[in-house]
Amino acid sequence: MLKNKKILVTGSGGQLGKTLQKRFSGKYGFDWIFLPKEKLDIIETKQIQATFKKYNPHFCINCAAFTDVLKSEEQPSIAYKINVEAVKNITRVCNENESILIHISTDYVFDGRKKRPYVENDKANPVNVYGMTKYLGEKHVLENANYGYIVRTSWLYSKNFGYNFYRNILNEASIGNEIKVVSDQYGTPTNTEKVANFILKILASLPKKGIYHCAGDQVMSWYDFAKRIVKENNYSNKIVPIKSNTQGVIRPTYSPLKNTEM
Ligand SMILES: NC(=O)c1ccc[n+]([C@@H]2O[C@H](COP(=O)([O-])OP(=O)(O)OC[C@H]3O[C@@H](n4cnc5c(N)ncnc54)[C@H](OP(=O)(O)O)[C@@H]3O)[C@@H](O)[C@H]2O)c1
């Protein structure tokens, strides 16, 4: 039934977008269209309309976002433009073209006070600008998309692409330094490969619209995660636990997600 369906992936230059492209390009009977920011700027409504007119996609997977948590505090209007206004544009154009929207969101919509992994219908209460803009974006999709999925993930990393914690620690480990890492924030580190598999399941089964959680299976601190990365790669750096610095931005201290059963 899904054979030859066209799938547009926005923000394909990011770590998740690149993972999807590497995994899915030309595969599973879908016709994949991957567009990085240079080819489709999601702030530009006319560009989105022209892209939909050109490709007429059945699905749009929105991997584009302003993901820098600290810069979002410094440049809230840009974060709002990309994470909220552009998402409104995409939602509208998806509705006009009867396309199904899969929008990626974050554990940072939560305040971190729960102390047990968050489930889909837990109340969002973002504590920083990035979290707030992502929350407003997903809320708009849920309320307005004719057919929309929100896939929330947490502490996303790719071993191959982008700037992320995994690759930063690996880089520091290779230099041979002692590495200081925050030990008082907890999450569920999630490999982009897992999110790719999850998205594929959604595409194949088209479950009911709404919020889905896709995260790693283990709750840990950044410190725990750094120790694992170093061990996994046969380094022996000393990892030193430190307290988080709340200067500039507040982050949820506990934002693991409980996976949605699929
Ligand atoms: N990274 C995490 O830890 C994490 C955790 C939970 C959820 N998420 C969510 O997962 C999704 C994917 O994140 P990611 O880690 O893959 O982020 P990423 O590596 O920062 O990728 C985001 C991509 O979006 C692009 N982009 C920014 N503004 C755009 C615009 N106006 N039009 C088109 N593209 C634009 C960026 O391009 P430029 O870099 O050139 O600006 C970048 O290539 C996002 O929705 C994010 O909120 C991420």
Give pLDDT tens digits for 147-200: 999 999 999 999 999 999 999 999 999 998 899 999 999 999 999 999 999 999
Catalytic residues: 130
Per-residue pLDDT of 67-86, as tens digits, reads 999 999 999 999 999 999 99
- Ligand 1 pocket list (CB less than 6 A): 10-11, 13-16, 37, 40-43, 63-67, 82, 86, 104, 106-107, 134, 153-156, 162
Q: Is residue 153 part of a domain?
A: yes
Q: Is residue 52 part of a domain?
A: yes
Class of residue 149 by CB neighbours under 10 A (exposed 0-12, middle 13-18, buried 19+): buried
Read off the pLDDT band of 204 (50, 70, 90). Answer: very high
Q: Is residue 134 part of a domain?
A: yes
**Ligand 1, atom nearest to 13 Cα:** 43
State in Å: Cα 82 to ligand 1 middle: 10
pLDDT of residue 177: 82
What is the pTM (predicted TM-score) of this model? 0.97
Q: Is residue 167 part of a domain?
A: no
pLDDT of residue 217: 97
pLDDT of residue 78: 98
Instruction: Please name the residue whose Cα sits nearest to atom 26 of ligand 1.
Output: 64
Per-residue pLDDT of 6-63, as tens digits, reads 999 999 999 999 999 999 999 999 999 999 999 999 999 999 999 999 999 999 999 9
Instruction: Kindly report the CATH number assigned to the domain that includes residue 46.
Output: 3.40.50.720
Q: Is residue 204 part of a domain?
A: yes
Hey, which of 156, 166, 168, 188 would you mutate to test ligand 1's pocket, going by the most ligand atoms within 8 Å of its Cβ?
Answer: 156
Structural domains counted in the chain: 1
Q: Is residue 23 part of a domain?
A: yes
pLDDT of residue 55: 97
Q: How far is CA 212 from the centre of its chain?
A: 12
Domain range for 104: 6-158+191-213
Q: Is residue 32 part of a domain?
A: yes
Read off the pLDDT band of 3 (50, 70, 90). Answer: low
State in Å: Cα 164 to ligand 1 middle: 11
pLDDT of residue 58: 97
Per-residue pLDDT of 107-161, as tens digits, reads 999 999 999 999 999 999 999 999 999 999 999 999 999 999 999 999 999 999 9
pLDDT of residue 2: 59
User: Letter for the amino acid at 188?
Assistant: T
pLDDT at 1 over 90: no
State in Å: Cα 121 to ligand 1 middle: 24
Q: Is residue 68 part of a domain?
A: yes
pLDDT of residue 4: 79
Hey, which of 9, 34, 37 would you mutate to test ligand 1's pocket, going by the most ligand atoms within 8 Å of its Cβ?
Answer: 37
